Structure 1
Amino acid sequence: MIIPKSREEIELLRESALIVSKTLGILAPEIKPGVTTLKLDKLAEEFIRDQGAIPGFLGMYDFPNTLCMSPNAQVVHGIPNDKPLQEGDIISIDCGAVKNGFYGDHAYTFAVGEIDPETQKLLKVTKESLYIGIREFKQGNRVGDVGFAIQQHAEKHGFGVVRELVGHGLGKKMHEDPEMPNYGKRGRGKKFIEGMIVAIEPMINAGTQRIHQLKDGWTILTADNKPSAHFEHDVALVDGKPELLSTFQYIYQALGISSDEEEEFRAVKLELHD
């Protein structure tokens, strides 16, 4: 059952989402060759707690850390460790935070130093597919419209769309209805309703769509060991249109990147210099 949120609840969830956004922003300049994912995980936990929130992933389903950190061929749910990142790696960082009883949850895939052109294209296309999907999250549409749009864009570029892992509704629980696959058919699935909030999160592979899980019970890898990218935003349906609650602008500010990609979905002015 989809649980619509009041305007007040949407603002509470926006606060949690922006804590995650700021966490990714403080991590961004630290992601360089030689840093360990355990160090980044510790920085994230400290920052989230300093904001009066608690890490959303730590202990959930017995997950042992604050961040899911998935380099290269790892798709999602990678466990932080003491192995240093290397030049040319990519790493998906998925982060959650809980404040005022509501979850924020989103992700970004970072380049570690210089990466090869084909991997750069994978990141570009995956992020493009995220916004293409968000554009379909509007009054009158259904779950399949978002999935179809994401799938078409990724597969047009020869990339594989993961089937077994999906986006989801978001609220007082990390995972609410509806499931939000990154593939589908137009006009199929649950209909979007005013006030609902979803996490849209394309997980796109450079090669095959097929995946497998490591014996640790968490880490998901591509079946052909080719790289995978993952981008995720929290989005509310407000006045029939998609409104971003999360942002990548803290990342871009930290890295000196200028981008207007979020402007069409932004209803609230961001304070980037706090």
Structure 2
Amino acid sequence: MKRMSNPLLRSKAALLFLCVAAGMSVVMPSCKKDDKDSSEPAVSQAEVATVVNSAITNGGVAAQTTSAATTASMYLSARKGAKTTGADCGYTDENSFQLSSDANAATTFSIDYTYKFVITCVADQYQSFNFTFAGKTALGTSKVSLADTSAATFAITGLEDASANLVFNQAFDNKASLISKDGSSPSFYSTLKYTATNVTVSKSSLQIISGTAAVKITGITTSGKSFSYEGTIVYKGNNKAVFTITGGSSFDLTW
């Protein structure tokens, strides 16, 4: 079976779109400095949702999921037309890609990612595609500067012909800094842990259609105040999800 170039390197335009679209939603501070008093948390639920939104949409989980699904789909399609199977079992590939905006753009961004995947088989039939991602992203506007590093592992199953969907089990760790340039929101550093089981991705659209992820985010403001939140992300399909903070508010995520 012929080795194929990974479509992650051919999906830069899609990732660029995701980054620009995410940038429009990430940089909308939801509360003003005057609204804060000593009884309020160091970082509000809405401000935490900003970081979660960025981790999911800003070249993060959603983009990586689509890219990984595209890779799996390419190999599945190639196998249907192959005379023999099994030649690609154990095959591994790794590479990197970078994207950046024009330096003078109103919203600037940069993405630098590396990835690796390996195909595992049982009796020459696909069992799973296992991905690892590592990356750095940055986003900036006149109001906010956001930078993060991330590491992720995705295991993809549901590869048999009878399955209409791919199934993802995912772990995603993200460390971010959000710096307010105009003082309208607090500046802080955060660590986010995302764990998802049985997220389904349509084989036809290569988009997330359902699934749930647990999220925990902790951090500290530049003034030394700590914070901690937990919540759940529920995927709704059509590039939409809802992030609900345990015992708190819900926030729409779109990409």
Give the shorter-chain TM-score range.
0.3 to 0.5
Q: Structure 2-normalised TM-score?
A: 0.37
- Higher RCO (CA-CA < 8 Å; seq separation 6+): 1
Question: If you compute each CA radius of gyration, which structure gives the higher value, 1 or 2?
Answer: 2
* Higher strand proportion: 2
Q: Structure 1-normalised TM-score?
A: 0.35
